[in-house]
Amino acid sequence: MGWATPHIAKLQKGETVQFRPRGNSMVGKIDSGDLCTVTPVTEDELEVGDIVLCKVGGTQYLHLIKARQAGRFQIGNNRGRINGWISMNGIFGRCIRVEK
């Protein structure tokens, strides 16, 4: 169980969630403590540059889609780090709003 587990459960039920993530990996797009609104999303709606709530290698992230290729998505932060490639099964929602 990770920090986002309760939010993921709600997204999987079709609910929109709001939370304030902590950390500096997304500075420039999301500052630590900003209020983020995340909605369920379909694969067809996703684009490179979207911020998604996802799980890569067992770790939950609110990070960017850096690349897309044949049904896979490369996930990374806003500081140049790449987390890895995942399928749609690892993406739970897309961030649609960031507020201070």
pLDDT tens, N- to C-terminus, the chain (100 residues)? 899 999 999 999 999 999 999 999 999 999 999 999 999 999 999 999 999 999 999 999 999 999 999 999 999 999 999 999 999 999 999 999 999 9
Comparing C-alpha atoms, which of 55, 94, 87 is closest to residue 71? 87
Number of domains into which the chain is organized? 1
**In CATH, what number is assigned to the domain containing residue 65?**
2.10.109.10
Q: In what order do the strands lie in the sheet with 51-56?
A: 17-19, 35-39, 91-99, 51-56, 59-69, 72-76, 82-87
pLDDT recorded at residue 12:
98
Q: What is the pTM of this model?
A: 0.97
Domain that holds residue 49: 5-99
